[in-house]
Structure 1
Amino acid sequence: MTRKVAIGLIVGALALALALWGVPLGALAEALAQMDKRWLAPIGLLFLGQQAIRALRQLLIVRAVQPDSRYWGNLAVLCMAFLCINIFPARLGEVVRPYLLLRKEKVPLGAGFGVVFVERLVDLTAVLLILQAVLLGVEIPSRVLDMGGYTVDVVAMARALGTGFVLPLLVGVVAVVVAGERSVTLARRALAWLTGALPQGRMRGAVGRAGEVVVGLAEGFVDGLAVVRDPARLAAILGLTALTWGGTGFMYVMLSEALGLRDFIGWAEGMGVLVITMLGTTAPSPPGFAGVYEAASRGALALFGVTGPALAPRAVAFALVMHWWLFIVQAATAAWFFTAEGMSIGQLFSLARRGLSEEETSEVPS
């Protein structure tokens, strides 16, 4: 983990330097000072509304495997887990939500990972669809690079790559959903064949135990995937997903209004900045995605014309405010739930570092 943390810190520092490149700190401070701060409250309220909708979507997924699950418990799980995802190094926060679902909503650990997997699958599909729509439907200024005597239109190339890769990826997502139960059956057969082929002894026992853990988690994933095969539940999940992602575009409109960038960033352009920034933060990052978020956001804004000496300070201000204002709002909601639940971030960090198992999670009292 130490190596991953070090890489994340280095990438974050380089990305922050890139985000601030060519922007005098005085000009950045002036852009922040001139921002219409009255827009911060509605942006924060819209974000809180999105959290509420995400919790409802999570509840729909969870109830497929735990019918007695409650909305309030799912909201608490979501708020606490998302803060951990933001602040834990090396992506350790990703394992917190299954543990919290086990502790608060009695969702088996494997099924909890399945719930998270389904949510990520749905969000990935949404990101790919939004990206494809932006590439094909939003006017993006041409960006031509001269490389060794050849001119390359970066925007045209991105559109071609999007068309060539997004559709196959979407087909792959559907294939995973359809073949879920068959994959578990094949895994069980393969495990039985492998353990049968091994001689009696410790090796066979170790392989058998490890294989059962893997197959058990796979069954949990399938339990989670089962929700997307119920048409009514699927329609509700997709509707809530569209509402969540679509609402984010309006946060970008509000902030562009606050910073005087409405001539460049409307709702559609905001959705483009959103997905490009989200894809950028998949790179190795320090806690909080510090630096990486800002670099990805500034790059995305530049694609839509927010670039040049006069606009670059406002682009960096946009990235900083969107990132850290929402972080503050999210941290405040998580802190409330941590206090109400009598839990600590340190406790969850310790569990995440060790890795989760049914035995380990039973050590922590409900």
Structure 2
Amino acid sequence: MKNRLRIWLGVALGVGFMYLALRKIRLDDLINGFSNARYWPLLPCAVMVILSHILRAIRWQLLILPVKKAALSRLFSALMIGYVVNSFTPAHLGELVRSYVLGKKEGIQVSSVLASVVVERVIDIFSLLALMLIAVFLYPFPSWVTKSGYLMLAVSVVMLLVLVTLRLYPGPSLRYIAWASRFLPGRLGGRLSEVGEGFISGLVPLAKWSDYIKVGVLSVAIWLCYGVVFHLCLFAFDFNTIYGTTWLTSVLLLVITTIAVVVPSSPGYVGTYHYLCQLTLAMFAVPAGQALSFAAVVHMINFLPVTLVGIFCAKREGMTVLKNPAGTEKTSGGKADY
């Protein structure tokens, strides 16, 4: 029942934001946007999208290294499978699925893998906030973007404090989890304690300071890939010539549209992504119809290659990982318990 509610809520969000994106467009602007675009720059865009995810897999390998040295190919497969799930389900369920896939294949507790995913997301949010801070000095953001930044900062600080507390005080944290689990029915309480223990065991600091530097460099490289994708797409639509868009436009697009990805939204971020992209380009006097055609192309560039690669990875790893993401099947490396 809860899963259905999440799905319908996500669909409602997507429909609502898509309505906002469509309500003021002129059909001829939309058609002209598609027909006048140069599509050859989209091929390097697709390459940059996949490259960004390869870099994400390398960074994930560093983050989970204190628990186990996982194979890069399996990390990449789990990551891409998770993205496919995110494309068709709301509430970032793909993060749970990719944690299960890696745990199943590498014999790591799923909750320990999930801890590394949470750390990764905290890094992403702080990276986004740093990028937003830089952009603020270059361009005045609308108030709703600034407020969203404050909200993300508050959430990320709370998440960071929780992670640090769990890591520094594992004993008291586990006792509190055990106390809270008494209020849950049946085996659910015992499972919560197991998940908590596995999650805390996954919060292991990196062994070398050089690894922290590598994580930082990889994070910058990942965001640079995203920025290049936007800039190439702006060039493809000739917005740089017609409307004077620059690298600053790419940065603003990156910051504002990432809000649609960070917060729980519709499956595949359909609607929310398009509307936020449209709002950003409106700052540069791009007509709503042309902005929507641009948003549709950029969204497809991010969606199609990832989906195709993700489906290939799912078939290579075995589709059962998608059919039963809560199971605890045996693997060659052990059991993927929670």
Q: What TM-score does the superposition give when structure 1 sets the normalisation length?
A: 0.79
> Which residue is equivalent to 1:60?
62
- Deviation by residue 1:203-241 (Cα, 9 ceiling, x = unmatched): 79967x645533433333333332357422222112111
2:303 counterpart of 1:327 = yes
| Distance in structure 1 (CA, Å) of the matches to 2:179 and 2:205 | 31
Query: Offset of 1:190 from its aligned partner?
Result: 3.4
> Which residue is equivalent to 1:143?
none
2:240 counterpart of 1:239 = no
Q: Which one of 264, 289, 307 corresponds to residue 269 of structure 2?
A: 289
2:192 counterpart of 1:225 = no
Q: Is the 8 A contact 2:135 2:252 kept in 1?
A: yes
Query: Offset of 1:162 from its aligned partner?
Result: 7.5
In 2 relative to 1, CA 102–257 (structure 1 residues): closer, same or farther, beyond 3 Å?
same
- Deviation by residue 1:240-298 (Cα, 9 ceiling, x = unmatched): 11110122111111111111222543333312212211213455533222212111211
The residue type equivalent to 2:233 in the other structure is L
2:314 counterpart of 1:314 = no
| Distance in structure 1 (CA, Å) of the matches to 2:264 and 2:72 | 33
> Which residue is equivalent to 1:104?
105
**Structure 2 residue runs without a partner (length 5+):** 334-338
Q: Which one of 256, 279, 286 corresponds to residue 234 of structure 2?
A: 256
Other structure's SS at 1:38 match: coil
Q: Is the 8 A contact 1:117 1:224 kept in 2?
A: no
Other structure's SS at 1:361 match: coil
2:310 counterpart of 1:361 = no
The residue type equivalent to 1:22 in the other structure is K
CA-based RMSD: 3.0
> Which residue is equivalent to 1:187?
173
2:81 counterpart of 1:80 = yes
2:280 counterpart of 1:274 = no
Query: Offset of 1:163 from its aligned partner?
Result: 8.3
In 2 relative to 1, CA 46–210 (structure 1 residues): closer, same or farther, beyond 3 Å?
same
- Deviation by residue 1:83-126 (Cα, 9 ceiling, x = unmatched): 11111245432310111111222221111111211111111111
| Distance in structure 2 (CA, Å) of the matches to 1:241 and 1:282 | 16
Q: Is the 8 A contact 2:10 2:266 kept in 1?
A: yes
| Distance in structure 1 (CA, Å) of the matches to 2:153 and 2:311 | 40
Deviates more, 1:266-275 or 1:321-330: 266-275
> Which residue is equivalent to 1:138?
138
Rg larger in structure:
1
How many residue pairs are counted as aligned between the two chains?
329
Q: What TM-score does the superposition give when structure 2 sets the normalisation length?
A: 0.85
| Distance in structure 1 (CA, Å) of the matches to 2:169 and 2:126 | 21
In 2 relative to 1, CA 23–221 (structure 1 residues): closer, same or farther, beyond 3 Å?
same
**% same residue:** 22
Which structure has more relative contact order (CA 8 Å, sep 6+)? It is 2
> Which residue is equivalent to 1:18?
20
In 2 relative to 1, CA 229–18 (structure 1 residues): closer, same or farther, beyond 3 Å?
farther
2:161 counterpart of 1:175 = yes
> Which residue is equivalent to 1:200?
none
Q: Is the 8 A contact 2:25 2:288 kept in 1?
A: yes
| Distance in structure 1 (CA, Å) of the matches to 2:206 and 2:226 | 24
**Structure 1 residue runs without a partner (length 5+):** 141-153, 196-202
| Distance in structure 2 (CA, Å) of the matches to 1:17 and 1:167 | 29
> Which residue is equivalent to 1:199?
none
> Which residue is equivalent to 2:336?
none
In 2 relative to 1, CA 258–266 (structure 1 residues): closer, same or farther, beyond 3 Å?
same
| Distance in structure 2 (CA, Å) of the matches to 1:134 and 1:205 | 46
- Deviation by residue 1:122-161 (Cα, 9 ceiling, x = unmatched): 11111121122212x2224xxxxxxxxxxxxx736855x5
